[in-house]
Structure 1
Amino acid sequence: MTLRTTATLAAGLVSALLALAALRGLPLGTVAFWFAPFPLFAAGLGFGWATAAQAALVGALVTLVSGGVPGALAWAILFALPSVLMLRLALPAAPGGTLGLALPFALLALWPAALLLGAELAFAARPGGFSGVLRTAVEDALARMGAAPGSDTEEVAALMVRIKPLAFALWFGIVMTMNAAIAQRLVQGRGLAVAAPARWSLALLPGWYWKLALAAGLAALVVPGGAGFAVQSAAMVLAVPLALQGLAVAHVLSRGRPGRPVLLGGLYLALVLFLIPVGLGLAALGLAEHFLNLRGRGPRPGTGLTPPED
């Protein structure tokens, strides 16, 4: 058995088992769930995106047998399909090239936005559409926690429904970038990388992305009703990569400055405590990067390329 075949089988099996640990409620299963994409990224970065695709087929079989159709679909939609697609977009056509991060970076929002659109279509016949389904689920959860029915509970439920798409997009973006970065370090350290590593701090969204995000933001201000929920949710989701790009700008600009850990720690704390206003500020910073190239040493904004090492 070749190393590539071993990696394919192991990546699919381990990824599926990590996801099933959470689906079956095993101890530390939630933690394991966060790392389900890692084996797929490691296999793809070490042996090519086709290896990751084959590993995904192995994982699909494992999750189907052990978790049934719902478990297999959840694993495929959340981890397998976006991981393989990100690798397909990131890996260069010729061996030895540099990873391209522009399109995979955009996919961090486009994939959740596509899932949001799919949910809207799937629940279009329900009262209130997808937002109505979410609201019912949140109200039921609050009732099980002992919350008494009333205006306060309704306001909390409405707020939670509004931010759920944003929370999912943030979770998805963090999980995918974290696992891809760890996998890149692993395969690079073992000399298995099929492409030159990318510098994540200099990742740039495609030049067209800010126009899409801005158009969604403007539409969210004027579209009413149930359609307004979908557009507002899409606008928040599309703002996530811009905020991550703004966060990368903050990391680069703070290099070499006194008290850098304190500055970045304060920024992350503010982001946790005041998610929406601080996130919007970071998104604005990420948008400014497209025009001002604030990181300086990067290539022309929107290319997703990385400069040569010093």
Structure 2
Amino acid sequence: MVPGTEGADMSGYAIQTHELTKRFDGERALDRLNLAVPHGSVFGLMGPNGAGKSTLIRLLLGLLQPTAGGGEVLGRSITELSGDWRKDVGYVADYQNFFPHYKVSELLAFCAKLYPNWDDKRCRDLLDVFKIAPEKRVRSLSKGMKTQLALVISVAMRPKLLLLDEPTSGLDPVMKHHFKQLVLQVAASGDTTVFFSTHNLHDLEQMADHVAVLMKGKLLFTRSLDELKANTRKIQAVFSEGLPDAIRQAPGVLSVQEQGKVSTIVVQDHAAEVMSLIEAHRPAFVETVDLSLEEIFIQMMGKEGYAHDAAFQLE
């Protein structure tokens, strides 16, 4: 082992889970989850409310214990008792539980003593960006301002991993923009992996470079966002005698819709092969159309049998 790497994650992943399972009263909130989050990525976990996103984040932080399976964060087991690796993990919850009677300045002074890499200048600069007055009592802050304050704390500690649970909930459009820009700046440094949960496709498209989809505790798929967009295509073709079965049953076909003689085929990962097959059947007309991220998700969820359960939001 290279000196100084004891306890470090040498796998290339900031987060890994192995058959991670969590049950509450016999019900599975997470079901045998196998997830790998690359170092330095901005990784979006997509899913509707109740999918298990918050449960996963709390398991990663050690706030909950797994029913079965396990995982590592920054190369350390999520069940490790010492928990000293948490000094390198920033966390913005979906709801903030700060000491309500503290002034903002008192809360920040308290946090500065907890984290060895605390950056006081960065903290002051971020308070100015979000217009949070240090003399205000925490209890007087709105939900959105508490979320901003949580991000200030999480960034000022200079984390190696930043965990965000529905981070833009409760923020007005201007503050939401500042929030996203700050997260992207943190990620651009290359020193911090960002992992955030959301049910908002707009947030996902603006922030993430990798994405996973969680439904009813199950991981449906995980991909690079660029790869997902590049490898999913909609092909429209006109056949005089209808769509041949060989095309309908071709590998990678997510869905087929027919309206008269016009067939619309959505295909993933095998667009070139399907296009060659279509052309071999001599269509009267054929064209390839890019899909929006919303359309891609709807198609993939439909293929998995969850089309009617998805509750994605666009702004």
Same fold (TM over 0.5): no
Structure with max Cα Rg: 2
What range is the shorter-chain TM-score in? under 0.3
TM-score, normalisation: structure 1 = 0.27
Q: Which has the higher helix share?
A: 1
TM-score, normalisation: structure 2 = 0.27
